Structure formats: C-alpha cells, structure tokens
Structure 1
Amino acid sequence: MSKLAEYRQLEKHLAEQMQALEALKSDGALKKEIEFETKLRELLNRYGFSLKHIINLLDSQHSTKRASTPAAASGKRKSRELKVYKNPHTGEVVETKGGNHKTLKEWKTKHGADEVESWLKK
C-alpha cells in the first residue's frame, strides 16, 4: 500500500472515530457516569480513602471468602489422594498420587486407560 493510500485510510478511520466520539459526548448515560466518577473521586480524596478501601467495604464477604480457604491462607496445594491399582492379570499392585507412574502408563498402553481405571481400589 502506498503512503498516500495509507494516509487516506487512516484519515477516514479518524473521521469515523471522531463521529463516534461526538455521539458519545451527547449521550446522557455517559454524562451521568462521568459526573458520578468525578463526585466519587472527590469524596474519596476528601476522606482519604482509595478505591480498594471502598471495594473491601462494599464486598466484605468476597474478601473473607478468599482469605478463609486453607489453600489461600497457607499458600500450599491440597495433597493428592493416594490411588491403588491392582492388575487382575498379574496381581501386581501400584500405589500412586499422580498419573505419571511408569508401570501405570505401561498398563494403560497395553490394556487401555478405561480398563486400568476399573482396577482402581476403592
């Protein structure tokens, strides 16, 4: 694309965006939102609060829910459950907390994942 064509295309987009901006400026809902934001920021400044203070004040249940979960409080994951699989063909037993066990993978390739999952002891 030539520089002139690019310039004209950008000029056209700019004109379209200016029209959209003018339409928004005359929108009553936008004016109300701007007025609300201005008054809210003035009020926050007058009393020395920040938006985070207001969010915590208004949404106190949300902040207490996040802090009350044990994983969030300790910063640790819940440990995985121990799973015990018993191969009915050989009687071999595999105990694992994850699916990345060498023998378990071999069984799944040989017998199929669904069948091996049916060997899980409850």
Structure 2
Amino acid sequence: MSLLNAFREIEQALESKLGKLESLKNDPAIKQEIDFEEKLLNLMIRYKKTIHDLRQLIQHDAFGSKARQQHLYAQEERSSYRALPRTYRHPVTGELLETRGKSAKLKMWEKKYGFRTVSRWLQPETL
C-alpha cells in the first residue's frame, strides 16, 4: 500500500470518529452523565473523600453491617455444599440403606437388580 493511500484511509477513519464524537456530544444522556460526574467530583473534593470512601459508603448502604455479614455467610455455606443423605428400601427384605453417595452396598444392588430398579427404591424425604 502506498503512503498516500494509507494517509487517506487514516484521514477517513478520523473523520468518521469525529462525526461519532460530535453526535455523542449532542446526546442528552451523555450530557447528563458528564454533569453528574462533575457534581460528584466537586462533592468529593469539598468533603475530602476518595473513591474508596465512596465505594465503602455505597456498599454499606447496599448491605448494612449485619445484612452484609449474613450475605457473606450465605455465600460460604453455598461453597461448602454437602450432599443430602438418601434412603433406599429393598422391597423384598425391607432392608434400609442410607447413603450420601454411591456406597458399596448401593453399587452391589445396582449391579444385581439394575440401576432403574434400584432408583425406584429411593424413599421420599421426610422432614
């Protein structure tokens, strides 16, 4: 590509970007956001606050100290999920098997009677 062609291509791209910039400058939504930012920065200067202070204030309002602790505790609970126990009852012998996963006995039953058959032996949860 010649140097002149590269120059004209860059010039066209610049004109396109300048047109987009002008349309954004006239957009009322961007004017409102710029006005809000200026007012917020002036308030921060006036009260000698930093972005970090502002962030803490907003987070405190969103999650009050006790509510925030409960929210964080709930997140910890979800991350350490433990499977609930399931109970199977053998229909012929009446034997009960309670397991949180695949125990040796459950595997033996599935091998002997089949997975579908054993899955029907699952007892409903009793609360």
**TM-score grouping bracket, smaller chain normalisation:** 0.5 to 0.7
Deviation at 1:9, TM superposition (A): 6.8
**Counterparts of 1:105 and 1:91, CA distance in 2:** 16
Q: Are 1:110 and 2:107 matched, yes or no?
A: no
Deviation at 1:42, TM superposition (A): 2.1
Deviation at 1:40, TM superposition (A): 0.7
Distance 1:60 1:71, change over 3 A: closer
Q: Which residue number in structure 2 is paired with residue 22 of structure 1?
A: 22
Q: Deviations over 1:65-89 (max 9, x none)?
A: 4421443467863543211123436
Deviation at 1:30, TM superposition (A): 0.9
Q: Does the 8 Å contact 1:71/1:77 carry over to 2?
A: no
Q: TM-score, normalised by structure 2?
A: 0.57
Q: Does the 8 Å contact 1:71/1:78 carry over to 2?
A: no
> Tell me, which stretches of 5 or more residues in structure 2 are unaligned?
none
Q: Are 1:80 and 2:86 matched, yes or no?
A: no
**Counterparts of 1:31 and 1:68, CA distance in 2:** 39
Q: Which residue number in structure 1 is paired with residue 42 of structure 2?
A: 42
* Higher Cα Rg, which structure: 2
**Cα RMSD over matched residues?**
4.1
Q: Which residue number in structure 2 is paired with residue 119 of structure 1?
A: 121
Q: Which residue number in structure 2 is paired with residue 68 of structure 1?
A: 70
- Report the identity percentage: 32
